[in-house]
């Protein structure tokens, strides 16, 4: 089994080496991962992220380092990484230290066992988490609730970074979001597949404060509401996937 890790990066010079240490260490521990690739997409960072990444990835064949010419957003970086991926499974990892790669084995288990096609890592299912902002918590709950109403899924954390997919599913998905709307977009389009098997597993979460570099804000929440409506109610199954993708039909 080959795993593709997609890591979007924007102004993370302080954390990127630490998260890559954790990712590499964990991938080497998991017995069912025979091959892996780590695809890093720098979203035109204005700090020294790109220089740090160039030094870190030099002469390491399992890294692919890409750079966007202009800052376009997390969604654009993820879309770029997915297009370059070749793994049987594709997993998205943030470049900060909010999500712990030690959860990989739990995330990948249902996919490797043939039980799931997509796995969401939930921050709200009872694992260790850092106590932070009440209104962020309520905002995530509301967006997940609204998304569930439209998708008829019973997720607890639609906005989670940790999503793992069978590679052929995510590579055949027609994604268009540039910013944080990528999360509700992927969720909406996954729900349109007939026979899709979606699992949700608990993960740990160590959220950052704004002083520590957190980037999402209330404007992204408003955008997420529009994305939920747009990709669930105004987008068809045919518009969501490549025309020749018929895995579940």
Global pTM reads: 0.91
Measured distance CA(46)–CA(219) in Å, rounded: 22
pLDDT above 90 coverage of the chain, percent: 79
Residue 248 lies in a domain: no
Q: Is residue 22 part of a domain?
A: yes
For residue 137, with 0-12 CB atoms within 10 Å meaning exposed, 13-18 middle and 19 or more buried, which class applies? middle
Name the domain count of the chain: 1
Domain contains 247: no
- Is pLDDT at 249 greater than 90 in this prediction? no
Per-residue model confidence (pLDDT) at position 125:
84
When pLDDT is averaged across residues 186-214 and rounded to a whole number, the result is: 84
Tell me how far apart the alpha carbons of residues 171 and 244 are, in angstroms, rounded to a whole number: 12
How remote is the C-alpha of 8 from its chain's centroid? 9
* pLDDT tens sequence across 19-41: 999 999 999 999 999 999 999 99
Question: Within a domain: residue 190?
Answer: yes
Q: What is the mean pLDDT of the segment spanning 200-221? A: 73
Residue whose C-alpha is closest to residue 159's, from 223, 65, 109: 223
Asked whether residue 90 is assigned to any structural domain, the reply reads yes
pLDDT number for residue 246: 76
Give the sheet arrangement for strand 198-202, strand by strand: 63-67, 35-42, 2-9, 89-92, 163-166, 118-122, 198-202
Residue 246 included in any domain = no
The pLDDT of residue 248 is above 80: no
CATH number at residue 163: 3.90.550.10
User: pLDDT, tens digit, for every residue of 125-161?
Assistant: 866 666 566 777 788 899 999 999 999 999 999 999 9
Q: Is the pLDDT of residue 87 over 60?
A: yes
Residue 249 lies in a domain: no
What pLDDT was estimated at residue 247? 73
The answer to whether residue 45 is domain-embedded is yes
Q: What is the pLDDT of residue 199?
A: 98
Evaluate the CA torsion angle 214, 179, 78, 50 in order and state its sign.
Answer: negative
Select from 91, 97, 90 the least CA-distant residue to 19.
97
> 155 lies in which domain range?
2-240
């Amino acid at each position: 089994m080959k795993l593709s890790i997609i890591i979007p990066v924007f102004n993370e010079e302080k954390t990127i080496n630490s998260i890559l240490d954790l990712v590499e260490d964990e991938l080497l521990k998991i017995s069912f991962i025979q091959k892996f690739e780590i695809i890093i997409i720098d979203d035109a960072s204005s700090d020294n992220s790109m220089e740090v990444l160039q030094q870190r990835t030099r002469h390491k064949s399992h890294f692919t380092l890409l750079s966007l010419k202009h800052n376009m957003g997390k969604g654009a970086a993820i879309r770029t990484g997915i297009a370059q991926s070749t793994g049987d499974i594709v997993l998205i990892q943030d470049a900060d230290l909010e999500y712990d790669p030690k959860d990989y084995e739990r995330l990948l288990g249902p996919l490797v066992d043939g039980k799931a096609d997509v796995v969401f890592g939930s921050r709200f299912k009872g694992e260790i988490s850092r106590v932070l902002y009440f209104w962020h918590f309520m905002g995530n709950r509301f967006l997940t609730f609204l998304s569930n109403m439209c998708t008829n899924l019973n997720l607890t954390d639609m906005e989670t970074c940790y999503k793992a997919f069978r590679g052929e599913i995510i590579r055949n998905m027609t994604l268009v979001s540039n910013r944080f709307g990528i999360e509700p977009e992927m969720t909406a389009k996954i729900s349109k597949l007939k026979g899709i098997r979606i699992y949700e597993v608990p993960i740990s979460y160590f959220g950052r404060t704004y002083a520590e570099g957190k980037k999402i804000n209330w404007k992204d929440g408003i955008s997420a509401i529009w994305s939920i409506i747009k990709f669930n109610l105004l987008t068809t199954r045919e518009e969501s996937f490549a025309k020749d993708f018929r895995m579940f039909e």
